[in-house]
Amino acid sequence: MSEPVGLAPAPAGSETGQPVLAPPRPGVHGAPRWMWVLGFAVVLPALVPIGSLVVRVFGGGDVVIDTILAGRTMALLVRSIVFTLLVTAAAAAIGVTAAWLLVRSDLPGKGTWTVLVSLPLVIPSYVIALALLSFFGGRGLFADVTGFALPSISGGFGAWLTLTLSTYPYVFLVARAAFRNLDPAHEEAARSLGAGAWRAFRTVVLPQLRPAVAAGSLLAALYTLSDFGGVSLMGFDVFTRVIYAQYQGRLDRTPAAVLALVLIALALVIVWGEQRTRGRAAYFGTRPRRLPPLVKLSRRGRAVAYGGLGVLTFAGLALPIGVLSAWLIRGVAGGQTIDMRWGAVAGSLTGSLVAAVLAMAAALPVVVLAVRHPGAASRWLRRAVYVIFSLPHITVALAVVFFAANYLGGLYQSFTLLVLVYAALFLAQAVSAGEAALLQVDPNLEEASRGLGRGSLATLWNITVPLMWKGLLVGGALVFLTTMKELPATLLLRPTGFDTLAVRVWSTTNDLFYARAAAPALVLLLVSAVPMYLLVIRPRRAL
Amino acid sequence: MNRMVPPAIHCHRLTKSFGDAMALDDFELEVPTGAILALLGPSGCGKTTALRVVAGFERPDRGAVEIAGRTVVDGTMSLPPEQRRVGMVFQDYALFPHMSVGANVAYGLERGSDRRVGAVLDLVGLGGLGERMPHELSGGEQQRVALARALAPEPAVILLDEPFSNLDATLRDRMRRDVRSILTEAEATAIFVTHDQEEALAIADVVAVMRDGTVQQVGTPREIYRRPATPWIGEFVGESEFIDGHADVGRVVTSMGTFPQFGDLRGDVRVMIRPEWVHPTPATDGAAVVVGREYYGHDQLLVIELADGRRITSRIGSNSFVSPGDRVDIGIDEVVVFPDSA
């Protein structure tokens, strides 16, 4: 199964097929049994609710068949697929073009643009939707200020715009790394063999970018398929929104379960499809010794590039922040007290923090098994982690709701269950960052420790963990940030009275109280942006 | 050389700098058609830049390049690489990783040139491997594919950038011989860049020694080794020792004897001696004594201390029974004389 990229600083270039820094090396001895037990103990429970969902659906009888075959379901399936394709295509086109401009062209100010273009990564889709909704239209901010009403934005187009702005940074970051890893000698070889600049780009550069673009597009597609907040606020019915409505509105929850299972199948098909695009080629090569010469843009080309990047930055970054700030300022100026629920801040922080710590702890055995003890078992373990990560949150949450309601009465709608689900959903981020860190730890150090008489647990604790600590921490920080933004699982699983910033933004926007959504949304962005910059964007710039 | 045939390559007064660093400084070079020329120099001397300017990957600040009599770059124009008829073999081969060997070789050819692809693969000894992917080949095979790909469109000249530096020592020797015979059989003109003097002398018909962005001497391997133009070249292309001497008409006088000189230097000079030109003869009353030995098997290197305490090395056959402690007389075959200022 494919690994998520762009979410964690993956092992150098592993997504673009570049070799990782040090080859994984099996330990001399097999892993101790307690580590295997631990590794499966953290992963298997996450799979059980999904298994029980399958059982429930297939035991459901006629309702199941009816739901699947209903014309509405088929229409929903088609609409979700088309929507995902349109968003992914737009995200891929924007991401690759921006990456080319900011790596290969001579555009001035590339460093600043790179940060600006990557930053929408920290803005949740529902905040972008909130900004678009409350800026356009007759009641919008623009109409309020200028007296001139822009056409309102909602429905399919609004959802497409929202998701495209939310997902292109994934493609951008991966494509950017791939452009930088390309060996310029390939292009030069093509040119000296008689190919013009365009033919060389089309036949040599693009095919080598394919794995990276496919990986980035996979992330964009899964994000789109999984998105709940953005499409809901835009009032666009795709799977996630319909599942939520079915769950909320009906006594019989079987249709929701059926739809969730169809959505899971769709996500798995997409992951499988991305695997299929990887051809037989192997993209070896160390990092190129030099960067290729920059392509000179004409004056017109430069103007077009600035225009495009400007529109992108405006819509994806300036608009959300500007609109939120404007609402907040107007609210304060208008004498409103800032509607800040401190409970939501506390809920977001504690939930995310606990989830991050849990994910770091759970990642450790998985990482050690995957890197130090490669084999069929550890490969499956790892694969399970990534499959869970690729599933839409609402489907996992729904499976957990059913399972807990039936079998875990005490845990149902408890804080414990909520953070466990968070940790399981985002475990892949912690694993990916931890693997990158462990790959850089020389296994000889562990062997030396064993040779000096320390057992495997003591070695893990005294040698391995201290050396890979920073990587685990990066993974934990990523889990923290992703949990802060999480919406659908929180809505389904939160204990009564438990509130998060994401839930506040969503519910106030849903009720069209845009001004009240401003404060929690801004706090959410502030809390996310600083560590995200430190962890993801800054290290990537150094690549 | 036939006067009517233009040189395959003529670089005229090329200058190219990167920031403050002068990579090419009035670089002048002519490569006769059909020759294999080694561009030899220490790393950072600008030799790879020269190759890239010829290929069209860099544009010179000043100067011109002609390929087969046609100007490809000068102060007013620059042909793009694809119009220059230059085949390039890159240091790490740059095989397209997503194409088969056959597709790599066919890249520079018209559609439907399967026969040519097969012929070139046969030429480099890889007949039948066209379906393989580059990563399925060994280093030596990859290099052959790179060479086949460059040769396939029958370019006016083949450029090879440090072609053997990525191979291990055993393979390197074989690939040197094979590449030379492939290039000869294809009747190709070639320039290859190297920092390895042994490699340059062994493969090339003509060696151009480069330093600080300029060509300092062009000649056959024999000329370069035995008649280096400067002491620096003499040291760069082989082991050497320098002693002081005094020249007058036709001869030069040194502490190790008097030698003929072919130039017309006068006054103080520097005299260069290579170890294999020094012959010790065992003699109980010899003026010198052997003080050290490195035994290599195919030959041996002796360190000999002269009467005045100066030391000199001598390379002799490994069958010779001279041992450390033996007294010897020294005979010297030939020397190279440089003006003192050089």
Task: For residue range A198-236, list pLDDT tens digits in order.
Answer: 899 889 888 888 888 888 898 899 999 999 999 999 999
Q: Going by C-beta distance under 8 Å and a sequence separation of 6 or more, which residues neighbour residue A321?
A: A522, A525
CA A157 to chain centre: 22
Q: Is the pLDDT of residue A16 over 50?
A: no
Q: Which of A192, A207, A282 is nearest residue B88 as measured by Cβ atoms?
A: A192
A293 touches chain B (CB under 8 A): yes
Tell me, what's the pLDDT at A477? Answer: 86
Q: What is the pLDDT of residue A387?
A: 85
Contacts of B42 (CB under 8 A, 6+ apart): B195, B211, B236
A-B contacts (CB, under 8 Å): 79
Do the beta carbons of residue B117 and residue B100 sit within 8 Å?
no
CA A10 distance to own-chain centroid:
13
CA dist., res. A263 & res. A398, Å (int): 12
| CB pair distance less than 8 Å for B108 and A194 | yes
State the pLDDT confidence band at A284, using cuts at 50, 70 and 90: very low
Percent of chain B exceeding pLDDT 90 equals: 60
Cβ of A188 under 8 Å from any chain B Cβ? yes
Chain length of chain B: 342
CA distance A54 to A59: 8
Q: Do B107 and A279 touch (CB under 8 A)?
A: no
Distances (CA, A) of A385 to A362, A389, A427, A540, B24: 11, 6, 7, 24, 56
Q: Which residue of A has its CA nearest to B154?
A: A193
**What is the pLDDT confidence band of residue A15, given thresholds at 50, 70 and 90?**
very low
How high is the ipTM of this complex?
0.75
Considering only CA atoms, give the Rg of chain B. 24
Q: In this complex, which of B84, B88, B98 lies closest to A189 when CB atoms are compared?
A: B88
Q: A306-320, A489-503, A513-527, B196-210: which has the minimum mean pLDDT? A: A513-527
Strand order in the sheet with B336-339: B257-260, B251-254, B241-248, B267-273, B336-339
Q: Which of A218, A211, A216 is nearest to A267 (CA)?
A: A218
Q: Are A217 and A207 in contact (CB under 8 A)?
A: no
Is pTM beyond 0.95 here? no
Structure tokens at A58: 């297939």
Q: Is A79 exposed, middle or buried (0-12, 13-18, 19+ CB in 10 A)?
A: middle
pLDDT band, very low/low/confident/very high, at A339 (cuts 50, 70, 90): low
What is the mean predicted confidence (pLDDT) over A22-44?
Answer: 69
- Between chains, do B55 and A203 touch, taking CB under 8 Å as contact? no
- Sheet containing B62-67: which strands, arranged edge to edge? B21-31, B9-18, B62-67, B70-73
Q: What's the pLDDT score for residue A91? A: 95
Higher-confidence position of A44 and B148: B148
Q: What is the pLDDT of residue A14?
A: 36
H helix intervals, B107-196: 114-123, 139-151, 169-185
Contact call for A188 and B90, based on CB within 8 A: yes
- Backbone phi, psi, residue B318, to 5°: -80, -10
Highest mean pLDDT among A234-238, A271-275, B38-42: B38-42
Over residues B117-137, the mean pLDDT reads 91
pLDDT at A63: 72
Confidence of residue A282 (pLDDT cuts 50, 70, 90): low
The answer to whether B80 contacts A194, with C-beta atoms less than 8 Å apart, is no
A280 by Cβ neighbours in 10 Å (0-12 / 13-18 / 19+) ranks as exposed
Higher pLDDT, A21 or B199: B199
Where does the pLDDT of residue B308 fall: very low under 50, low under 70, confident under 90, or very high at 90 and above? confident
- Average pLDDT over chain B, rounded to an integer: 90
The pLDDT score that the predictor gives to residue A360 is 93
- Helix A342-372 crosses helix A415-439 at what angle (to 10 degrees)? 40
Say if residue A141 is exposed, middle or buried (CB neighbours under 10 Å; 0-12, 13-18, 19+).
Answer: buried
Residue with the larger pLDDT of the pair A429 and A444: A429
A1: confidence class by pLDDT, cuts 50, 70, 90: very low
Residue A281 has pLDDT above 60, yes or no: no
pLDDT of the residue at B192: 93
Mutate to test the interface with A, among B59, B98, B105, B149 (most CBs of A within 10 A): B98
> Average pLDDT for residues A484-508, to the nearest whole number?
89
Contact B98 A284 (CB under 8 A): no
Å from B95 to nearest chain A CA? 7
pLDDT tens figures, B164-193? 888 888 888 888 999 999 999 888 999 999
Q: What is the mean pLDDT of chain A?
A: 82
B121: left (phi over 0), alpha (psi -120 to 50) or beta: alpha
The whole-angstrom distance between A185's CA and the closest CA on chain B is 6
**Mean pLDDT calculated for residue range A309-328:** 90
pLDDT beyond 50 at B129: yes
Report chain A residues whose CB lies below 8 A from the CB of B92. Answer: 183, 185, 285
Contact flag B135-A282 (C-beta cutoff 8 Å): yes
Which residues does chain A have within 8 Å of residue B82's beta carbon, measured at their own beta carbons?
191-196
Q: To the nearest 10°, the Cα dihedral for A199, A205, A211, A213?
A: -80
Average pLDDT over residues A366-381: 86
Which one is predicted more confidently, B319 or A364?
A364
What confidence tier does A337 reach under pLDDT thresholds 50, 70, 90? low
Question: For residue range B188-208, what is the model confidence (pLDDT) as tens digits?
Answer: 999 999 999 999 999 999 999
User: Model confidence at A409, in pLDDT bands (50, 70, 90)?
Assistant: confident
Which residue would you say has higher pLDDT here, B340 or A164? A164
| Four-point Cα dihedral A160, A161, A164, A165, nearest 10 | -150
**Is a pLDDT exceeding 50 seen at residue A21?**
no
Q: Which pLDDT score is estimated for A20? A: 38
Nearest to A263 by CA among A158, A396, A168, A386: A396
DSSP string for A111-142? HHHHHHHHGGGGS-HHHHHHHHHHHSSTTSHH
Whether B305 shows a pLDDT value over 60: the answer reads yes
pLDDT at A289 over 70: no
- The contact set of B with A (CB < 8 A) is 55-58, 80-84, 86-88, 90-92, 94, 96-99, 107-108, 133, 135, 149-150, 153, 155
pLDDT above 90 (res B41):
yes
Residue A496 forms contact with B (CB below 8 Å): no
The confidence score (pLDDT) of residue A100 equals 92
Give the N- to C-terminal CA distance of chain B in Å, as an integer. Answer: 33
Please write the tens of the pLDDT for every residue from B249-292.
Answer: 888 998 888 888 877 888 899 999 999 999 998 988 888 999 99
Q: What is the pLDDT of residue A258?
A: 85
Instruction: Check if the beta carbon of residue B65 is closer than 8 Å to that of residue B10.
Output: yes
pLDDT band at B315 (very low <50, low <70, confident <90, very high): very high
